[in-house]
Structure 1
Amino acid sequence: MNNITKNILVIDVGSGTQDILLFQPGKNIENCPKFVVPSRTQIVAAQIRQATAQGQDIFLHGHLMGGGACGLALRKHLKAGLKAYATEQTALTFNDSLEWVKGMGVLICNEPPTEAASIWLSDLDTASLNQAIKAFGLEVPDQLAIAVQDHGFSTRESNRSVRFRLWKEFINNGGNLKELVFTGDIPHVYTRMHAVREIAPLAVVTDTGTAALLGILTDPYIQPYLEEGMLAINIGNSHTLGAAIQGNRVYGIFEHHTSSLGLDSLSALVQRFQKACLTHEEVYKDGGHGVAMHPDMKAGWNFIAVAGPRREMAKPLHWYEVAPFGDMMLTGCFGMLKGLNLI
């Protein structure tokens, strides 16, 4: 472990939960304070639903953030015949094209109409986090490390296509996951990470997929399998991500929507990926994000380690269920610390 003396607040922002670790160097990591609470998109969605139930228009302001649940709540609000106003920045939460968002029926403005309920958007709510930390007599750290799923910005192609174009570039450029943990400049394409930096300018940021894969690699049981190559799979509430990893290098990645998968379809997808014959087109046409493989990826990858809050669906497949530091739900947090060479 590095000789780091500062506490770090590590936050893995998912679609269902935000998993939080207050890392305190010098203390057994199992004893560091931790929280698993609803994600910001779930909180915002509940606020939108409340306004809908009360027949009240809404004004969305703040920052670009993850969509998912809040996007669904917004569509239902508009379908109910109620108005939704949003600043340009928050409107980009729902699509990279402002024209597309306007087509949903969202009215773009900078000042809230007096009759509209004001709803603040952001993946990071520092005020609530600080209040929770202080409530237990703990010191709020200056340093943050945050993971969000960032598809990448584009008004010309789908976010699924952008995401896998970026994954393919990563794999072909060496596939070292630690290079995707940004302590300095963030590539311009990652607008959701930039939105986090608007609130926490010095935050370390990365993608939730990167954090999950690195976190799986912290489980000591899997270390002997890394030399010959293994599969790391994270079955999240919204997305299932798998990677073929050998040593410190990722040779292939696939990603699908968890809601589209069952036991049989997941098993078949993984088997084709193990054989290096799963194609981007078949996953994309099935509604998933896609597949990216290095030309040198061969068949194999027999050992499979799985994490994620929906990993229960894979139990009949008898994959190894990771529990780094005894806590599977903090896998992404541990992954960020590994990316920073802190564990």
Structure 2
Amino acid sequence: MNRRIKEATRRELPILLHGVIMGGGPSQWAAEDHVRKGLPVFATPEAARSFNDDLEAVREMGIQVIGDDEAAALAGDIFRIELRDFDFPAIRRAFESFGVSLDDLSAVAVAVFDHGNAPPDVSDRQFRFDYLDERLRVHAGEGTRRQLSAFAYEAGEVPGIMTRLQAVVDSAKDVDAPLVVMDTAPAAVLGATYDPVLAARDQLIIANVGNFHTLAFRLGSEGIEGVFEHHTGLIDLVKLENLLYGLAKSSLVHQDVFGDHGHGALVYNPEPLSFVDGKLDAAVTGPRRGMMYAAQSVKPYFAVPFGDMMIAGCFGLLSAVGDLLPDLRDEIHRSMEENRSSMAPWDAV
């Protein structure tokens, strides 16, 4: 979407943003650049919430928030951009170009990062981390994978506070199959646990170094023993290594991360992990995992579930679908648990 906004800026056209909530970062920056050039940006309320749940804050960016009727009545050469994370018709057309039909799907699973709709007087960083903590505590004792899949929901079960996940559901009305939506980072970590090297360990740390957020879970035989989440753009290699060590030693506290403009940290198991040869052995996944290539104090292991480090999140989504949809559970879990080769689970069925 940011490219389309930039195209409108290049053509010096007013913009109307409509649709539903979607990931806002680059699109917001492009819209703000558009405003700074003296060009109008209109947005319907739901689309505007892609940038901030507080519409007054959106207006302070210079964006004109208007109703749906007013948006429909806008005249002139308006560059109209529909916001949505999930566009099933476009995906269907793309697959059809390669001779693949999506007409008979057993399920559809989509992952997005959702801060949640924090009240005006609550930090969205704290709100997001409180949500992570609540989901982990509710499912404590159910095992690592079940705790991670607790961040996935069937379409009708999305909590009201998770507005971006709900927007995906709202965008999927033309999908004739069960829909599961999930948070991105837990999906990636869940998928990484299917790496055979990691699956054999009783305790480990897996970090997902994402484009905008870095989340690490400490996993144990009884379930998740700790977690932290920070903004990737605010950490470097040294800081990330220190955070991972703090999580391993059970010394990391919430303020260490939240006070550094991250989301937070919690340790549920006070017993520290043991280190091999004095170094912490941590698994890494995510699009910016390359940050760990030059690690000094941490020995990184780059997870390759089913022989593919690029789609750990997709494997996590598939695992969560197996947990949530009883009709698919046995087939999915059998294909993932029994297949320890580099063959993808969908090829093992």
Fold agreement, TM-score > 0.5? yes
What aligned pairs does 1:254-269 form with structure 2 within 5 A after superposition? 254-269=228-243
- SS of 2:284's equivalent in the other structure is strand
State the 4+ residue runs in structure 1 displaced beyond 6 angstroms: none
User: Which one of the candidate residues 97, 100, 125 is aligned to 2:87?
Assistant: 125
Aligned residue in 2 for 1:171: 136
* 1:243 Cα offset (Å): 0.4
Aligned residue in 2 for 1:312: 290
* 1:248 Cα offset (Å): 5.9
Structure 2 residue 307 is matched with structure 1 residue 326: yes
Structure 2 residue 73 is matched with structure 1 residue 92: no
Aligned AA (1:292): L
Aligned residue in 1 for 2:246: 272
Structure 2 residue 111 is matched with structure 1 residue 147: yes
Aligned equivalents of 2:25 and 2:307: distance in 1?
A: 29
What aligned pairs does 1:1-343 form with structure 2 within 5 A after superposition? 44-109=1-66, 110=68, 111-112=71-72, 113-114=74-75, 115-140=77-102, 141-142=104-105, 143-156=107-120, 157-175=122-140, 176-183=147-154, 184-201=156-173, 202-225=178-201, 227=202, 229-247=203-221, 249-294=223-268, 296-300=269-273, 302-317=280-295, 318-341=299-322, 342=332, 343=336
Q: Which runs of 5+ in 2 are unaligned?
A: 141-146, 275-279, 323-331, 337-349
Aligned AA (1:307): T
Aligned equivalents of 1:337 and 1:248: distance in 2?
A: 22
Shift of the 151–297 alpha-carbon distance from structure 1 to 2, 3 Å rule, reads: farther
Aligned AA (1:316): A
Aligned equivalents of 1:153 and 1:247: distance in 2?
A: 33
Aligned equivalents of 1:211 and 1:161: distance in 2?
A: 21
Aligned residue in 2 for 1:26: none
Aligned equivalents of 2:58 and 2:166: distance in 1?
A: 20
- SS of 2:200's equivalent in the other structure is helix
Q: Deviations over 1:179-233 (max 9, x none)?
A: 22212411111111110111225410010011011011111111121x2x11011
* 1:174 Cα offset (Å): 3.1
Aligned AA (2:99): G
- SS of 1:152's equivalent in the other structure is coil
Check the 8 A contact 1:218/1:338 in 2, yes or no: no
Aligned AA (2:109): A
Aligned equivalents of 2:286 and 2:225: distance in 1?
A: 21
Check the 8 A contact 1:171/1:293 in 2, yes or no: no
* 1:316 Cα offset (Å): 2.7
Aligned AA (1:331): A
The more displaced of 182-191 and 170-179 is: 170-179
- SS of 1:150's equivalent in the other structure is coil
Aligned AA (2:45): E
Q: Note the aligned Cα RMSD (angstroms).
A: 1.6
Check the 8 A contact 1:171/1:252 in 2, yes or no: no
The more displaced of 296-305 and 141-150 is: 296-305
Check the 8 A contact 2:207/2:217 in 1, yes or no: yes
Q: Which runs of 5+ in 1 are unaligned?
A: 1-43
Aligned equivalents of 1:219 and 1:207: distance in 2?
A: 20
* 1:92 Cα offset (Å): 0.7
Aligned equivalents of 2:135 and 2:200: distance in 1?
A: 25
Check the 8 A contact 1:145/1:336 in 2, yes or no: yes
Aligned residue in 1 for 2:345: none
Aligned equivalents of 2:181 and 2:300: distance in 1?
A: 30
- SS of 1:319's equivalent in the other structure is strand
Q: Greater relative contact order: 1 or 2 (C-alpha under 8 angstroms, separation 6 or more)? A: 1
Shift of the 248–200 alpha-carbon distance from structure 1 to 2, 3 Å rule, reads: farther
Check the 8 A contact 2:193/2:199 in 1, yes or no: yes
Aligned equivalents of 2:18 and 2:187: distance in 1?
A: 28
- Answer with 1 or 2: which has the greater Rg: 2
Aligned equivalents of 1:221 and 1:300: distance in 2?
A: 18
TM-score by length of 2: 0.81
Aligned equivalents of 1:99 and 1:173: distance in 2?
A: 34
The more displaced of 87-96 and 150-159 is: 150-159
